[in-house]
Amino acid sequence: MEVRPLIEVVAQLNALPDEHFICVRRPWGQRSDTVLVPYPEDLRIPVAIAEAGFAYYLEVSTAREVLEGFLERSPSLQQITDFLTFYAEHDAFAPWSYEV
């Protein structure tokens, strides 16, 4: 299991396979430990991942979809990461995202 900061995973989002979950240790932030998990047959986060303290964040494909309109505003990598984290926590777009 390769652990990387969330911001690094977000930076490589377009190169990641769609069929993966992004799992992040709480509290979620730009430097939070992050792992990618291939979809298991039952579509649940593997017990070993959860026991290691990781929680479901987003699917790679969902993260890409959520970013489609936001990326047109040329946000920084930090803003993109914060935007995705807000979406992952609230299932809604960040109110500040319209000001970017």
Residues 7-19 pLDDT 10s: 999 999 999 999 9
| Residue 35: per-residue pLDDT | 98
What mean pLDDT do residues 26-52 have?
94
Residue 98 has pLDDT above 90, yes or no: no
The burial of 82, by beta-carbon neighbours within 10 Å (0-12 exposed, 13-18 middle, 19 or more buried), is given as: buried
| Domain ranges within the chain, ordered by starting residue | 4-99
Cis peptide before 27 (omega within 30 of 0): yes
Place of tokens 């494909």: 61
